[in-house]
C-alpha cells in the first residue's frame, strides 16, 4: 500500500491567476530543488517563499 513519506500543511498553495494549483512548483519544493520554469502566471509570489522556508 502506498503511503506518503512526509505530510506538510500550508496556509496557501501556488496558484495561477485563474485559480489552478501549480503542481510542478509543489513537486520542485518537495524535492528540494531550485524552482525553475515560468512563474509569471502566479497569483501571489510570496507563497513560494513561505513554502520554501517551511522546507528548511
Q: Which DSSP symbol is given to 5? A: S
Quick check: 41 and 35 in contact, CB under 8 A? no
Expressed as residue numbers, the domain containing 41 is: 23-55
Cβ atoms of residues 12 and 35 within 8 Å: no
Say what the pLDDT of residue 24 is: 95
Instruction: Specify the number of domains making up the chain.
Output: 1
Query: Is 5 part of a structural domain of the chain?
Result: no
Residue 14 lies in a domain: no
| pLDDT the model gives residue 14 | 94
The predicted pLDDT at position 28 comes to 93
Q: What is the pLDDT of residue 8?
A: 84
- Please report whether residue 37 resides in a domain: yes
pLDDT in tens, the chain (56 residues): 899 888 888 899 999 999 999 999 999 998 889 999 999 999 999 999 888 887 66
8 located within any domain: no
Amino acid at each position: 500500500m502506498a503511503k506518503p513519506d512526509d505530510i506538510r500543511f500550508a496556509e496557501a498553495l501556488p496558484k495561477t491567476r485563474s485559480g489552478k494549483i501549480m503542481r510542478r512548483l509543489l513537486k520542485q519544493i518537495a524535492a528540494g530543488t531550485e524552482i525553475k520554469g515560468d512563474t509569471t502566471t502566479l497569483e501571489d509570489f510570496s507563497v513560494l517563499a513561505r513554502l520554501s522556508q517551511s522546507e528548511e
